[in-house]
Amino acid sequence: MLLPPRLTPARVKRDRRYRTLDKYRFVIGFLSLPLLFYAIFVISPFVQAIYYSMTDWDGGSAANFVGLDNYQKLWNDDRFWDSAKTSVTLLVVAPLITLALGMFFAYMIMAGGRYRKGQAVAGVFGSTFYKIVYFFPQVLSIAIIAVVWMRVFSTRSGLLNGTLGALGLDGLEQPWLGGEYNLALFATLTVLCWSFVGFYVVLFSAAMGAIPHDLYEAALLDGAGRTKTFFKITLPLIWDTVRTGWIYMGIQALDSFAIVLVMMPDHALKVTPVFLYQRFREGQFGYATSIGVVLLVVSVVFSLIIMRVGNRDRIEY
């Protein structure tokens, strides 16, 4: 009869070490291929972009290393700063408007209906249909959206000016796309927010739907109305979702390339992605790549700021 081996402290320690090694071998073996693909297709392009931003590459001849000359040129380029001012404005304002509208519509869908028997908070009738309608712009190409809104804002035959004229408000008609900077900025913000607000309606509706109704019932028993319930219960419990959405919308606002390029005349509005594209068309590949690296840094810094400023203790429910 075979007896089990005696478990000495040394043997227990050795067996524990072997199990740990086996665990790490499994993890490394499981992640090695995905990490390899990630390094090739994600990390490698970033490294190449940083390298080419320090060269005078024109897309054809050999790239000569010039150090930080492109960044110095960028620092002294007034056209870049003009475009950066517009991009930063979109970065700050577009998330504020889009997320505010998204939360408002989502809360109305989820809690804006009349009180029903057995339900402390009820959504409006046909809430599923409203979610589909709000989400519809997400299935359209951004280029198609820009073309449609270009016709809406058209000076002569546009729907907006035509409607104002039909209502006798001719004095409010404006050259929205080719006139003043503020008008072009307003048009761009309108299209940008309209394009993405539906996504946040669905996102915030899903987050609000996960909140237990017992919390709303307790708030109603304490005499809280819908407004107070939103700020005291709903918003704190979906804050992580709001913070993530803020970062995503900020990046989308910073990358407003297609909307401005398709919808705006060349002189109406300048944003940094379009300024980058124009440098590529001129064959200044190294200079254009340095602009792309700056956009990358701005995106990372913006994300870190939102993660830091919006950091709160997680509420479990």
The tens-digit pLDDT sequence of the chain (317 residues) is 444 555 566 665 666 666 666 667 777 777 888 888 888 998 998 899 899 889 888 777 777 888 889 999 999 989 999 999 999 999 999 999 999 999 999 888 887 655 555 555 666 777 778 788 888 888 888 888 988 888 888 877 778 888 888 887 777 778 878 777 888 888 899 999 999 999 999 899 888 888 887 887 787 777 777 788 888 888 888 888 999 999 999 999 988 888 888 888 776 688 899 999 988 888 888 899 999 999 999 999 999 998 888 676 666 65
Q: What is the pTM of this model?
A: 0.81
List C-alpha distances in Å: 200 to 123, 160, 255: 17, 26, 18
What pLDDT does residue 5 have?
56
**Could you tell me the sign of the dihedral formed by the alpha carbons of 189, 195, 197, 203, in that order?**
negative
Tokens for 90, please give them.
Answer: 């979109």
CB 119 within 8 A of CB 213: yes
Using alpha carbons only, give the angle 109, 111, 115 rounded to the nearest 5 degrees: 125
List C-alpha distances in Å: 229 to 101, 107, 262, 299: 18, 11, 43, 34
Tokens for 27, please give them.
Answer: 């993890």
Using alpha carbons only, give the angle 129, 132, 136 rounded to the nearest 5 degrees: 145
**Considering only CA atoms, which of 275, 262, 283, 29 is closest in space to residue 150?**
262
As a whole number of angstroms, the distance between CA 111 and CA 8 comes to: 63
CB 63 within 8 A of CB 214: no
CB 294 within 8 A of CB 88: no
Query: Is residue 278 classed exposed, middle or buried when 0-12, 13-18 and 19+ CB atoms within 10 A define those classes?
Result: middle
What pLDDT does residue 2 have?
46
As a whole number of angstroms, the distance between CA 300 and CA 317 comes to: 31
Q: In the chain, where does DSSP find H-type helix?
A: 9-38, 44-52, 69-75, 78-111, 127-135, 142-152, 159-166, 181-209, 213-221, 226-229, 235-237, 239-254, 257-263, 272-281, 285-309
What pLDDT does residue 223 have?
76
Task: Mention every residue, 6+ apart, whose C-beta is less than 8 A from residue 166.
Answer: none
